Amino acid sequence: MSLMKKLFLAAAFFMAVGTAAQAFAQEQESYPVWDSIIRKLGRGVSNAAFGIVEFPVQWYEVNFEEGGFAACTYGIFKGISYTVIREVVGVVEVATFLVPLPGCSTEYPDTSAWGYGPILEPEWIITPSQNNYNFVYPETRTMP
């Protein structure tokens, strides 16, 4: 069997598993299932590709909250560990984007319900509250 046929069969299998798993899930998402699947894939690609950004973000947050000495020691280690965690979660989300996972429900966040929600919080690496110097979200800037 050629490589293309194997890839096509694998893709068809994962699509069938994802669709069947969604049929057995006991929650109703607030937006369509395919939007959730696409969002999960995008979040996974973002986490895997830009996970290294966690290092300066965590370093900056420790510096802001604890001071410079803590940032030079604890901030570096925290940045490295969060980078590794973000990268691994990104790979897991890309690998399982068609399948809902337990404890990832967006509708019932405090339960172990199955869903396509984020594994790691915050969902994205940089949130509007962390948008220093208006780098990612220009609409949150204070000056026109």
Distance CA 5, CA 33 (A): 27
Q: What is the DSSP letter of 104?
A: -
Question: Where residue 134 falls among pLDDT bands split at 50, 70, 90?
Answer: low
Domain range annotation of the chain: 34-129
Note if the pTM is more than 0.85. Answer: no
- The secondary element (H helix, E strand) that includes residue 33 is helix 33-50
Is the model's pLDDT at 26 over the cut of 50? no
Distance CA 80, CA 59 (A): 9
Sign of CA dihedral 30, 31, 32, 33: negative
Q: What is the pLDDT of residues 27-71, one digit of tens each?
A: 444 567 888 899 999 999 999 999 999 998 898 889 989 999 999
